[in-house]
Amino acid sequence: MRYFLCLSLVIFHFSFASAQFTIVELNCENLFDTRHDSLKQDQEFLPDGSLHWTKSKYWRKLNAIGQEILSCDDKCPELVALVEVENDSVLFDLTRRSLLRNAGYRYTVTASPDVRGLDVAILYQPERFTQLTYSAIRVPPLSGQRPTRDILYIKGVVATGDTLHIFIVHAPSRYGGEKRTRPYRMQVARLLCQQIDSLGQQAQVIITGDFNDYAESPALQHLYKRGLVNATASACGRHGAKGTYRYRGEWRSIDHLLVTPSLSDRVDSAYVNDAPFLLEEDDKYGDYRPRRTFRNYRYQPNGFSDHLPLVVRFRAK
């Protein structure tokens, strides 16, 4: 039975010495276990499925995600939001049995109606982040739309003393065409605005995740009109990446981190973590691309994800 456990690919690092905090967002690219959920269409990620997803591949993937998280900062990140994770058992293995097992993470994960079983989650170290409350916000499907991922909402206090309202999203994909699927992502944007309005004007809000839209897309524009600022609109890597995702040789970002103005004024830096070990040569279009787990249905044992992490550092008040 799928359920919430008190615990996208967001990482918050709060430095007591510098009184700063850092946020990272990461899409894990299909972090599935090897067990079949009879209520979900996860058959391709089974040992006898089309991708031959074995236990050894699963554990290699867990450690790869752990390594990717740890590479985002010189200290172990205090708070991590993940996109494209299957369930609470995956989070248990990631936090208790992978490279992250000594980090002391707890976790909260949604139990969405997504047909494949994909969810979003957040990890945190309780001594650095006090989670006060959390909930899953259901996104009602429109006519003809498949059920999609819940939005994860967390309210908590960080080491700087700030109370943050965090929303982690994995918006509906563009499969079937951008124009046809645009209303699905617009619905998510409108729902987020409703939630923000209910918090009051003084709330410090962070919205992050995989929006399946670019910075200039209508759904993002709708959030900007609400007063939110895209802290990662111009984020680039330090090793050549010009976005978090590369499609047909073009770097773009469909992962974003938006904040209310009071937090926007405190952004110290925003960039893509494109550490060289997360990249591979693009033999078709030239340059480099994210080193993903599967390339054209072919398993890459040294792969990580088809998305790169976003990193945003905030100054203290």
pLDDT in tens, 148-203: 999 999 999 998 888 999 999 999 999 999 999 999 999 999 999 999 999 998 99
Q: What is the pLDDT of residue 109?
A: 98
**27-36, 44-53, 68-77, 223-232: lowest mean pLDDT where?**
68-77
Q: Can you tell me the mean pLDDT for 299-304?
A: 97
Cα(310)–Cα(317) distance, integer angstroms: 22
**Residue predicted with more confidence, 76 or 204:** 204
Cα(90)–Cα(62) distance, integer angstroms: 8
State yes or no: pLDDT of 6 exceeds 60: no
State yes or no: pLDDT of 259 exceeds 80: yes
177, exposed or middle or buried, with CB in 10 Å at 0-12, 13-18, 19+? exposed
Q: Can you tell me the mean pLDDT for 96-110?
A: 94
Residue 131: alpha-carbon gap to chain centroid: 18
Band (112; pLDDT cuts 50, 70, 90): very high
Report the candidate in 147, 152, 221, 141 with the shortest Cα–Cα distance to residue 189. Answer: 221
